[in-house]
Structure 1
């Protein structure tokens, strides 16, 4: 989708931008996105000139700019989808068929047993593997662990889709809860003379953070004809069915989950004005206008947000917002007339704001009264994702005949681990 601006600078804006066919390659999509951004800058510059001359922008100019802004978002979605499709290699099935690396004998045996279980419901192979390992991979409600290759592929593809998983620290545990001590005040130190006594330092203040894992499930269905087709890579099908739905649920929970039977998102913690920040709360910077950016100098809020973080976290900072909020920020300029928002340097790279990358997360709220629509932080230090090892699958050929259901589960937890590493923008007067 390419936006074609008017040929003459003073020409009347057309009723609607010209739209080309949806591009089929990443390069073409990226080129058209950049063309759209140049058209956006031309129209926005015209709008700002009209405001400077007449104290208001022409309605037609505003409408055209909004249409181009929306078209840029649509074009970015197309680009993201193409990149995601490109990033999904076929799962390696081994065996020298050219579809992946050779598997070890143990991995090949597990894969064959799992394939027999999924296709025909044969459990003997997986039970024999459990006996060999002297451990049980069967849960209280039944089911078997998928092969490690499939498990890691699901996790990798989820990381591509979910920005929070990709940005956060991820820990894999074997228990139901991860407990992590955290020194909130740091160690005490002091200067002493060479021969002076060393007084005992104060005991550091420790806080214990608990991250329970919750069950996330999906239930893809397949016909027996599909399962009987030996040409179908059953592991690739399984990963493809569950990775997007898992990513959507996780992405939402890591941002705004309430912590009830799901991870607790960073927006669900108590928020306070950054000047009054204390451990256990998330600090915010207010825009100074209820439900909107400031009329004069709206970008000042973003500057305040960036410098609300300590230098150690700021150098690893990332902005997070949804596409609609990003569309508002595209219009902002600095005192020298330079746009603060910059397009990606190349396909597959994020856009940047004031030199920091932008992570697009549609779970972030739209701008509204008292909304927390923009986050900035060192998410790797600030947020912890906890995975319990293994993705489990239970085959059910009875509940939805003639379809075979696959009850697929994984256990995931998450929460803020460093409360000073994430800051928010609140669209409020104070």
Structure 2
């Protein structure tokens, strides 16, 4: 049915409903039960026609503007629509909402604020931003990362108690019943994270780069550093639970190994102990099934001291990689984080060993950007506030061993 015919039908349904109500009013009475039923049916049908008209007009506008999402598009669903939304996104970043047509603003789910309001970034922009964040955050390359279309929570099943071993039995035997299996659940819920970046008006106007590329790269850096910090030391309160935060919800103190230090370096002598021995203990505290994917995690300043550590025979435990092989510590590669602990004072955490696929991260794919126009006018800059939602936590503590400084030197 054409839009013109739909509008005519809507007018007739409204007129019929009005006639029912006026007939009762003219007779000085309320509508009967049957009349009310007819009235409600007419109004329900009119509302349905209204929604059909709205959808039809939106599709017509989108087709004129190239914002259609044709599922039969040979190169993937909504290719033209994605490109058009990215064009609209660039127009918004460069000129704000006044630079958007009504159709473009609706495509980006514009807020009510006519200038400087929030817009939801296109999925293409968000995916590229998150990819940049992944590249800047070493832990993300090893962690299990889930992406949610909304900021709902993600329950992670954990094995709190296991069954006993299988039993040798006869051909027809089934073994004894074992009720020891218990599953728990830790919940990851993306928490809001906001960061602000500044871009000069001239750069937005004159740069050969698209505005979305400029904003995306700066947003990615700011969000990556904030997330990495939380992944290392976050307390889990409206943020990620960090690897170096002792918690029964993550990695408890039962997974800590003391490493002899002097407060400024590692100890390796017969009197005070060998740091190498403690690292060997840490390696074999971790079950062998985790060794294939395990990595040491250190701050670069701690790694500088680790490279000096020798065993009781005077051999360095750090080994340089050959060809395409990585450097290793006790045959296990390492990663570095600027937000891992960097001091060697007594009882400080100084590093860890683990299979980081058991650190889970959840991102909400919705990403909002607010354009600040007047706040930075004196410096000829535009401010952009990016709001994302993210969470993370260790989900199986036995996959990790944490190293703690033990200053036992007199």
**Global fold match (TM > 0.5):** yes
Contact 1:290 1:370 in 2 (8 A): no
Tell me whether 1:147 sits opposite 2:122 in the alignment.
yes
- Structure 2 distance, partners of 1:243, 1:428, is 37
Deviates more, 1:238-247 or 1:302-311: 238-247
Q: Secondary structure at the match of 2:131?
A: helix
Deviation for aligned residue 1:184: 1.8
- Structure 2 distance, partners of 1:279, 1:224, is 47
Q: Secondary structure at the match of 2:371?
A: strand
Summarize the alignment of residues 300-379 of structure 1 with structure 2, pairs less than 5 Å apart.
300-334=277-311, 337-345=314-322, 350-365=326-341, 366-379=343-356
Deviation for aligned residue 1:287: 2.1
- Structure 2 distance, partners of 1:350, 1:197, is 48
Summarize the alignment of residues 88-103 of structure 1 with structure 2, pairs less than 5 Å apart.
none
Q: Indicate which of 156, 162, 171 corresponds to 1:186.
A: 162
In the superposition, relative to structure 1, how do residues 397 and 350 fare at CA in structure 2: closer, same or farther (>3 Å)?
farther
Summarize the alignment of residues 198-209 of structure 1 with structure 2, pairs less than 5 Å apart.
199-209=176-186
- Structure 2 distance, partners of 1:362, 1:104, is 39
Deviation for aligned residue 1:308: 0.7
Task: Give unmatched runs, 5+ long, in structure 2.
Answer: 1-74
Q: What corresponds to 1:295 in structure 2?
A: 268
- Structure 1 distance, partners of 2:386, 2:81, is 23
- Structure 2 distance, partners of 1:362, 1:159, is 15
- Structure 1 distance, partners of 2:285, 2:111, is 48
In the superposition, relative to structure 1, how do residues 282 and 142 fare at CA in structure 2: closer, same or farther (>3 Å)?
farther
Q: What corresponds to 1:237 in structure 2?
A: 214
Q: What corresponds to 2:385 in structure 1?
A: 407
Task: Give unmatched runs, 5+ long, in structure 1.
Answer: 1-100, 131-135, 272-277
Q: Indicate which of 350, 356, 363 corresponds to 1:387.
A: 363
Q: What corresponds to 1:115 in structure 2?
A: 90
- Structure 1 distance, partners of 2:276, 2:207, is 58
In the superposition, relative to structure 1, how do residues 405 and 305 fare at CA in structure 2: closer, same or farther (>3 Å)?
same
Contact 1:183 1:207 in 2 (8 A): yes
Deviation for aligned residue 1:223: 3.4
Deviation for aligned residue 1:144: 2.3
Contact 1:189 1:201 in 2 (8 A): no
Deviation for aligned residue 1:312: 1.0
In the superposition, relative to structure 1, how do residues 204 and 119 fare at CA in structure 2: closer, same or farther (>3 Å)?
same
Tell me whether 1:129 sits opposite 2:129 in the alignment.
no
Name which one, 1 or 2, has greater alpha-carbon Rg. 2
Summarize the alignment of residues 41-60 of structure 1 with structure 2, pairs less than 5 Å apart.
none
- Structure 2 distance, partners of 1:233, 1:406, is 15
Query: C-alpha offsets along residues 58-111 of structure 1, whole Å, 9 cap, x if unaligned?
Result: xxxxxxxxxxxxxxxxxxxxxxxxxxxxxxxxxxxxxxxxxxx99931221111
Across the aligned residues of Structure 1 and Structure 2, the Cα RMSD in angstroms comes to 3.1
